[in-house]
């Protein structure tokens, strides 16, 4: 199996040699998939857009010409240099064409751009067992990866960021690399017109508010506090101007997961304050009181119930069984009702 680890991925992206004739880049983080493919193309082709050295194929061509990849791999570029054959939206239908190309020769590099391929995917299985194919999975950024992307961007611009601003910014970055970079770029553009070289909480709040992040944070804390009166208005604000219902559901899922982590720490003997202090990334200081109060309301079993509800709602959104917004609103209201029920039970004598 040639499934590259994190350090191997970075080394290979910086200097792809001729060890592999193909690379499968896949995963749920489509932004990171595109970013890594772009890095590979730039490392091989340079900045020039040479049509003789780069070809883009859709896997639909393989149904008419199963040997197309075999031919493209062997093709010699006019003027010399290694060629790149980029297959977009690669899925199991590409598996047979990749297998045929594996029997050929030539130094052309086949780049397979896959989506969220599961362990049973024929394409993923075929690539993982072939020594001539590198496999690069792209999953959502964790806290350390997000912090690294943010820090690198700040260093390039000669900027610093205070601790609370960093915490707030990281909490409002998602698990899609392209969206992460867009949010960081928005912050950098804002700071370019503001005084000083250190980014403050106020700077981050100004940018986050533009993208609806502040409304989502307010909605999340309102739901876990059981405040029905504010939910409709915050829902409208969070989903205004094209806001994503699935994105909101995922924000709630992340919040419930962090509450679940904190309750586990409390079960091990920590106080609520100690459990919250140990979370990574840290809870933004203005959100800590509400987070601690939520821990006093939500039991471990109720948190599991809430997370299950959110996962089912996201699945319903993706299935096309109804309006995403209606599904999201019902899920949010049910969660708020769960909060009220949980609070009533905890406060019973």
Q: Which pLDDT tens digits describe the chain residue by residue (349 residues)?
A: 567 877 889 899 989 988 899 999 998 888 889 999 999 999 999 876 778 889 999 888 887 777 899 999 999 888 788 899 999 989 998 999 999 999 989 989 999 999 888 888 999 999 998 999 999 998 876 677 788 889 989 999 999 998 888 888 887 776 667 778 888 888 888 888 777 889 988 888 777 644 445 677 778 888 887 777 888 888 887 777 456 788 788 888 888 888 988 998 898 889 988 998 888 777 877 788 888 888 888 888 888 888 899 889 888 887 777 788 889 888 888 888 887 676 555 544 4
**Cis peptide before 281, with omega less than 30 degrees from 0?**
yes
Tell me the fold of 213-347.
Answer: Zinc Finger, Delta Prime; domain 3 (1.20.272)
What confidence score (pLDDT) does residue 112 get? 96
Beta bridge partners of 110: 22, 85
Instruction: Please tell me the class of the 143-210 domain.
Output: mainly alpha
Give CATH superfamily name and number for 6-137: P-loop containing nucleotide triphosphate hydrolases (3.40.50.300)
pTM of the model: 0.57
Residue range(s) occupied by CATH 1.20.272.10 in the chain? 213-347
Reduced to 3 states, what is the DSSP secondary structure of residue 101? helix
d(CA 87, CA 276): 45
Inter-residue contact 96 to 65 (CB < 8 Å): no
Q: What are the start and end residues of each CATH 3.40.50.300 domain in the chain?
A: 6-137
Would you say 145 and 31 are in contact if contact means Cβ atoms under 8 Å apart?
no
Name which of 165, 184, 159, 166 is nearest 174 in CA terms: 184
Domain(s) of CATH 1.10.8.60: residues in the chain: 143-210
Give the pLDDT of residue 347: 47
- Residue 240: exposure state from Cβ atoms within 10 A (0-12, 13-18, ≥19): exposed
pLDDT of residue 243: 61
With 0-12 / 13-18 / 19 or more C-beta atoms within 10 angstroms meaning exposed / middle / buried, residue 81 is: middle
Cβ atoms within 10 Å, residue 316: 18
């Amino acid at each position: 199996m040639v499934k590259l680890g994190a350090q191997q991925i970075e080394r290979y992206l910086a200097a792809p040699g001729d060890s592999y004739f193909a690379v499968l880049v896949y995963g749920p983080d489509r932004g990171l998939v595109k970013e890594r493919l772009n890095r590979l193309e730039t490392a091989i082709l340079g900045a020039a857009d040479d049509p003789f050295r780069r070809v883009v194929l859709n896997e639909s061509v393989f149904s008419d010409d199963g040997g197309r990849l075999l031919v493209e791999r062997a093709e010699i570029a006019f003027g010399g240099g290694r060629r790149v054959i980029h297959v977009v939206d690669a899925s199991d239908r590409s598996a047979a064409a990749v297998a045929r190309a594996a029997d050929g020769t030539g130094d052309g590099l086949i780049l397979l751009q896959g989506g969220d391929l599961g362990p049973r995917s024929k394409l993923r299985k075929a690539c993982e067992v072939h020594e001539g194919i590198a496999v690069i999975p792209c999953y959502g950024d964790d806290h350390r990866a997000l912090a690294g992307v943010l820090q690198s961007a700040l260093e390039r611009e000669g900027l610093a960021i205070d601790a609370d601003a960093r915490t707030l910014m990281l909490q409002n970055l998602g698990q899609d690399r392209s969206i992460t970079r867009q949010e960081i770029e928005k912050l950098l553009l804002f700071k370019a017109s503001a005084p000083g070289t250190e980014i403050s909480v106020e700077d981050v709040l100004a940018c986050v508010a533009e993208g609806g992040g502040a409304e989502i944070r307010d909605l999340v804390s309102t739901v876990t506090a059981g405040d029905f009166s504010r939910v409709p208005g915050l829902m409208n604000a969070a989903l205004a101007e094209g806001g994503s219902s699935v994105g909101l559901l995922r924000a709630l899922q992340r919040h419930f997961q962090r509450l679940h982590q904190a309750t586990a720490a409390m079960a091990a003997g920590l106080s609520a304050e100690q459990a919250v202090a140990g979370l990574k990334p840290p809870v933004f200081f203005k959100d800590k009181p509400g987070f601690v109060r939520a821990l006093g309301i939500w039991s471990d079993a109720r948190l599991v119930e809430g997370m299950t509800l959110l996962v089912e709602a996201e699945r319903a959104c993706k299935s096309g069984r109804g309006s995403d917004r209606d599904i999201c609103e019902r899920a949010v209201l049910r969660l708020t009702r769960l909060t009220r029920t949980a609070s009533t039970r905890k406060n019973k004598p």
